[in-house]
Amino acid sequence: MAAKLIKGTEIREEILEEIEAEVAKIKEKHGVVPGLVTILVGENPASISYVTLKIKTAHRVGFHEIQDSQPIDLSEEALLALIDKYNKDDAIHGILVQLPLPKQINEKKVLNAIDPDKDVDGFHPVNVGRLMIGGDEVKFPPCTPAGIQEMIVRAGVETKGAEVVVVGRSNIVGKPIANMMLQKGVGANSTVTVVHTGTKDLASHCRRADILIVAAGVPGLVKPEWIKPGACVIDVGVNRIGEKISEKTGKKIAILSGDVDFDAAKEIAGSITPVPGGVGPMTITMLMKNTLKSLKFRLGIN
C-alpha cells in the first residue's frame, strides 16, 4: 500500500492563510502588525535567496518587513550595535540574522545579543532553556522542529504514547524535536529515542518507530527495511546529489534527495514527507508564526 504523502507545500498554504487572517484582525483591533527584520551581511547567493523568500513571505502575510543588507566587511561591533537598535525598536517583533556570518564576526556572540523576546529563530540560550522546560514557558520553538511537529499534527498522526525515533542530534533539528516530542501536550507525549553517529545498531532502533524523524544529512541513509509498516516518516534531509536543467527556466538547478530511500519507503510507511516539498517549506512558515506570536505576547493576547 502506498503511503499518504504529507505535503509541506499544502500545509504551508493553510498556515499562511491562517496567519494572514489573524494579522488582519490584530491590525483592525490594535492598529499594529508584526514587524520582522532580516539582517544579511555580505552577498552569499544562498543567503540572499533565503532572505528574499523570508521577506516575500512576510510581505504576503501583511507584516512590516525590513531587509537590512550590510557589507561583507561589517565589524562585529557594528553588527552588535545594529541588533541593539532593533532590540529597542517597538515596530520590530522578530530579529533574524542570516547565517553564516563572515569570519571577523563571532556568531555565538551575535545570536546571544538578540533580545530573547524577539528571537523568532529560537536559538538564544534563553529560548533553548524555555523549550526544555516546556508548556507555557515555550515562546519560540525553533522553526524546522516546529514545522515537523505541525506536519505530524495536521496529518492526523497519533503522538501520545507513540515510539518516536529521531536520527541526528544537531542543535537546530535533532535535539529540539526530540525535546518537543517528549513534552506533555498536543502533538507530543511520545516516548523518544535519539540515535546518532555513536549509536551501535541504527536499524534496530528505527524499526521500532511509529514516527521516524530523520535529520542526518546523509542521502539514502534510512533503508526501507528499517521502517515499521504503517509508520509516519518525516525526512528532514536536504542533500544535493547532482544538477539538472530546469524545464521551467532552462537554468541549472540542484537535484535534491532526502535521507530516506523515498521510492521504496513509501510502499511500507503509512505516511511520509517528500523531498523537496516536505519539511523544507515549513521552516519559513513557522518563522512567520513565531513573529506573529511575538507581537501577540507583546499585546498580551495569547
Binding interface with ligand NAD (CB under 6 A):
144, 167-170, 172-174, 196-197, 202, 215-218, 221, 236-239, 279-280, 283
Phi and psi at residue 233, to the nearest 5°: -115, 120
- Cβ-based nearer residue to ligand NAD, 62 or 290: 290
- Cβ-based nearer residue to ligand NAD, 144 or 179: 144
Q: How many residues does the chain have?
A: 302
Phi and psi at residue 147, to the nearest 5°: -65, -40
Q: How far is the CB of 125 from ligand NAD (least distance, A)?
A: 18
Q: How far is the CB of 129 from ligand NAD (least distance, A)?
A: 20
Q: How far is the CB of 175 from ligand NAD (least distance, A)?
A: 8
Distance separating alpha carbons of residues 188 and 259, to the nearest angstrom: 23
What cell does 176 get? 529540539
Q: Are 88 and 264 in contact (CB under 8 A)?
A: no
Choosing from 54, 118, 228, 293, which is the catalytic residue? Answer: 54
- Cβ-based nearer residue to ligand NAD, 188 or 284: 284
- Cβ-based nearer residue to ligand NAD, 97 or 279: 279
Distance separating alpha carbons of residues 267 and 227, to the nearest angstrom: 10
Q: How far is the CB of 31 from ligand NAD (least distance, A)?
A: 34
Helices (H), 96-138: 107-113, 125-133
Choosing from 118, 119, 121, 235, which is the catalytic residue? Answer: 121
261 is catalytic: no
Q: Around Cβ 171, how many Cβ atoms within 10 Å?
A: 10
Q: How far is the CB of 58 from ligand NAD (least distance, A)?
A: 17
Choosing from 98, 119, 149, 175, which is the catalytic residue? Answer: 98
What cell does 130 get? 524555555
- Cβ-based nearer residue to ligand NAD, 196 or 296: 196
β-bridge partners, 260: 222
Q: How far is the CB of 181 from ligand NAD (least distance, A)?
A: 15
98 is catalytic: yes
Distance separating alpha carbons of residues 121 and 27, to the nearest angstrom: 23
Q: Are 295 and 62 in contact (CB under 8 A)?
A: no
Distance separating alpha carbons of residues 246 and 92, to the nearest angstrom: 38
121 is catalytic: yes
Q: How far is the CB of 71 from ligand NAD (least distance, A)?
A: 27
- Cβ-based nearer residue to ligand NAD, 62 or 237: 237
In the chain, % helix, strand, coil (3-state, to 5) comes to 40, 20, 40
- Cβ-based nearer residue to ligand NAD, 112 or 239: 239
Q: Where are the beta strands (DSSP E) in the chain?
A: 4-5, 35-41, 64-70, 94-97, 163-167, 191-195, 211-214, 232-235, 239-245, 252-257, 271-272
The residues annotated with a catalytic role in the active site are 54, 98, 121
